[in-house]
Amino acid sequence: MMNFRKNPKRMSFYNGNWMYEPGITPVFAESVADTAVDGDTLTLFTSQNPNANRRDLGGPMLTIKLTSPAPNIIGVELTHFKGGKSAYPNFELGSAPTAVEIADDADSVSYKSGELELKLKKHAGYMGWNMEFVGGGKKLTASGARSAAYFYDDGAEMGFTSQQLDIGVGECIYGLGERFGPFVKNGQDIDMWQADGGTGSEQAYKNVPFYMSNRGYGVFVDSPADIRFEVGTTKVERVMFSAESETLRYFVIYGATPADILERYTLLTGRPALPPAWSFGLWLSTSFTTDYDEATASSFIDGMAEREIPLSVFHFDCFWMKGNHWTDFEWDADMFPDPEGMLRRYHERGLKICVWINPYIAQQSRLFDEAAAKGYLIMKEDGGVWQTDLWQSGMGVVDFTNPAACEWYAGHLTRLMRMGVDCFKTDFGERIPVKGVKYFDGSDPVRMHNYYTELYNKVVFTAIERERGVDEAVVFARSGTAGTQKYPLHWGGDNAGNYPSMAETLRAGLSLAVSGYGFWSHDIGGFEATAPADLYKRWCAFGLLSSHSRLHGSSSYRVPWSFDEQASEVLRRFVRLKNSMMPYIYEHAIEAHETGVPVLRPMVFEFPDDPACAYLDRQYMLGKNLLVAPVFSEDGTVDFYVPQGSWTSVLDGKRYEGGRWYRERFDYFSLPLLLRENAILPIGGCDDRPDYNYAEGLTLKVNVADGGRASCEIPNITGVRDALVTVERSGKVYTVSTTKPLEGLKLEIEGKLYDCNGLVTEATL
């Protein structure tokens, strides 16, 4: 009834292995009838009849077009009827120069890009179709018999184009955006459809039609429409993805490592901007539906300062504006009579300011009439404004396909920034209508439903870049799709204050990480309800060991002293720990910006050859070298796995030999935070803010094996790498070399500090 979902679609085409659901008629690619080569494009004209001869004219055909936008990426476009009207929007895709090799003879075809090759026998006989993808000399997956298909549906105006790709024995599938269920997607049916369903359902705020296999490849389905993925369900041995469309295009991406795959995927869809260093500090929110004014906000800021808890960003949620006026971009004068003065005072205390917005204009908003009159809102097909009472009374939705609407919306943001606002929380963006509506640019409403968030976040992010500069742009976004990772950062949506929700939050973050999102946050302590003090303290450690960290909730304040005073001590410890680790964290932030490799990584991402890591979803790697295992139990017990090597605890120096599981109990001030063998953790000389001179007063926590070598790069807050530090060990002798002098450099080895004598280029201890 709410117009945010398209008409119910057919759940499956099959009835078991051999039969089809009533009303379904399949067309399969089973034999290559003809080919055409045009530059780097190879087109296959396929027949459903593998024994076709020159007299078998007419009948259904699938056309398969092969392209390569970059080395090690092959695009496959399946088309039934190609004469239909082109549908848009489409994802904006990047490319890189590539040379392909095409072989086309009487019996077979081959299409090769870099180390990735597609091979196919033209006439393999009944059930013999096998379009195989080979990467680095090994089979990755294949489009086997009756897997490239078009399904006629008697009950629909249009049929479905579908592709199935093989899943091997022991193969695991990951990704598909922010998913709160099991991290390994095998056995799940997943729809790409934006929804505001919280973290405890199968719905997701961030749907990304990309999955990664632990067999060395990824698959990106190039459509913002309602794609359905059936991962080892309808066809247990395959991943099937389908769209209600005459055409379906996907890319197979080869990579020797998960990092290689993500680097190539984000070459296509975009890499995240580098967030400013200050954004990595602690964010404190007024919370969602709580009552507050300037005095309340100031009491939070004062309370944090009194308890020596460093605070970087103060966020004003919904009620900085009057209720039912959202969004009108006007401060509630009753609560904030002097907003400019207030923001100036907060800036003088070293704080950045964020305010909450959304893309909806309530009927009571002072902006509604103007937006409606000028065509800035999504319209109905009859020419009126589309409206709903869900969320805000009579609200309309800004039409970001209208350039004038984009400038109008951005103009209000610019006015707020000139008042003293630094960034925006771009909430919502999922409840976008699909029935009976039309867009300014003629976009297909079904395709726009998911894609809307890309335009929304782009408008806001670009407005900040123009006003504050490229180096200062950051948003706090909830919704996203393929490509929206370009506009960091994103948080995990509406979780709850309990341990299962904390765990599902991490699973979502891990899935999002392998979907191209380099930066991620979540509501510490849970959004819905108020967590017990125990959970809040455990979540503080997890939250501060994420790329970004925010205290936020629904109907109660999330300041630590509202739980208990020990919560303040716990929060202080982990905020200061994170600030001191900024040389390490920002080094990996730069890597995410340059390559698409995320800051927070699943264990399988760093250890793809360790079978024990394939299913791990209660621990993760923060950057390349730090293992983090949050505490998900009231008594502090943690079961965690340590991969091969000799690891050391960052917090107490305890050593862990890898290749085994551990069960240990931790107090509120600790958790498993382990430094990898042959790795360096650079600790900065400042712990009361995240943006400082990382090269000054450095201490290098070193875990180097005898005969080993480790290095790390030290960045500055502008995103430039200032120095490369290398430590080599021979017995008890550690040799340190740097590419530039580092004032006050120290080494920490097994809990002992060694002074490197001020300005050094080499020191032996």
298-356 pLDDT, tens per residue? 999 999 999 999 999 999 999 999 999 999 999 999 999 999 999 999 999 999 999 99
Q: Do 398 and 361 form a contact (C-beta atoms < 8 A)?
A: yes
Report the distance separating Cα 483 and Cα 487, nearest Å: 8
DSSP single-letter state for residue 204: B
Classified by CATH at the fold level, domain 693-765 comes out as Immunoglobulin-like (2.60.40)
Options 3.20.20.80, 3.90.1150.10, 3.40.50.1110, 3.40.50.970; CATH for 277-358+401-595 is: 3.20.20.80
Tens of pLDDT, residue by residue over 151-167, are: 999 878 889 999 999 99
* Cβ–Cβ < 8 Å for 362, 388: no
pLDDT score for 7? 58
Q: What single DSSP character describes residue 584? A: H
**Is the distance from CB of 398 to CB of 410 less than 8 angstroms?**
no
Q: By C-alpha distance, which of 277, 552, 327, 368 is closest to 456? A: 327
pTM over 0.95: yes
Residue-level pLDDT at 11: 62
Return the pLDDT at 15: 93
Among 357, 356, 362, 2, smallest CA distance to 197 is for 2
pLDDT at 760: 40
User: What share of the chain in percent tops pLDDT 90?
Assistant: 92
Fold equal for 277-358+401-595 and 693-765: no
Residue for token digits 């990664």? 212
Question: What is the CA angle 455-551-570, rounded to 5?
Answer: 145
Average pLDDT over residues 369-390: 97
CB 243 within 8 A of CB 156: no
Report CA-CA distances (Å) from 325 to 196, 321, 399, 589, 663: 21, 7, 18, 37, 52
**Beta strand spans in 500-582 (E):** 520-521, 523-524, 549-551
Burial of 86 (0-12, 13-18, 19+ CB in 10 A): exposed
* pLDDT above 90 for 9: no
Find, among 280, 290, 251, 293, the residue nearest to 72 by Cα: 251
116 neighbors 252 (Cβ within 8 angstroms): yes
Calpha distance 685→699 (Å, rounded): 7
| Confidence (pLDDT) at 761 | 43
pLDDT for 765:
55
pLDDT band at 478, cuts 50/70/90? Answer: very high
- DSSP H helices in 307-401: 339-348, 368-373
Which pLDDT score is estimated for 758? Answer: 44
Query: Per CATH, which fold does 14-82+98-269 belong to?
Result: Immunoglobulin-like (2.60.40)
**What is the per-residue pLDDT for 84?**
86
| Per-residue pLDDT tens over the stretch 617-637 | 999 999 999 999 999 999 999
| Burial bucket for residue 684 (CB in 10 Å: 0-12, 13-18, 19+) | buried
Residue 647: CB partners within 8 Å, gap ≥ 6?
627, 655, 656, 657, 658, 674, 675, 676, 677, 703
The percentage of residues in the chain with a pLDDT greater than 70, rounded to a whole number, is: 97
- Whether the ω angle into residue 89 lies within 30 degrees of 0, i.e. cis, is yes
Residue extents of the structural domains in the chain: 14-82+98-269, 277-358+401-595, 693-765
Count of C-beta atoms within a 10 Å radius of residue 287: 25
pLDDT at 1: 43
Rounded distance, CA 423 to CA 410, Å?
A: 12
Over 60: is that where the pLDDT of 29 sits? yes
Tell me which residues are annotated as active site: 427, 430, 494
- 291, amino acid identity: D
Q: Tell me, what's the pLDDT at 58?
A: 62
Name the nearest CA neighbour of 662 among 691, 627, 694, 688.
Answer: 627
How many CB atoms are located within 10 Å of the residue 546 CB?
A: 27
Cβ(694)–Cβ(682) below 8 Å: yes
Q: Tens of pLDDT along 542-594?
A: 999 999 999 999 999 999 999 999 999 999 999 999 999 999 999 999 999 99
Q: For residues 370-388, give the mean pLDDT.
A: 98
Q: Is the pLDDT of residue 290 over 90?
A: yes
Do residues 207 and 193 touch, judged by C-beta distance below 8 A? yes
Reported as a single tens digit per residue, the pLDDT across 241-252 is 999 999 999 999
Summary mean pLDDT of the chain: 95
Q: Which among 406, 518, 507, 390 is positioned nearest to 452, based on CA atoms?
A: 406
Contact predicate 630/671, CB 8 Å: yes
Residue that is written with structure tokens 């699938």 in the block: 62
| pLDDT > 80? residue 5 | no
Those residues with Cβ within 8 angstroms of residue 720's Cβ, 6 or more apart along the chain or in another chain:
none
Task: Give the pLDDT score at 93.
Answer: 98
Determine the 3-state secondary structure of 141 from DSSP: strand
Query: Is residue 122 pLDDT above 70, yes or no?
Result: yes
Helix (H) or strand (E) holding 300: helix 294-306
Kindly list the distances between the CA atom of residue 43 and the CA atoms of 65, 67, 95, 102, 104, in Å, as whole numbers in the listed order: 4, 9, 20, 11, 11
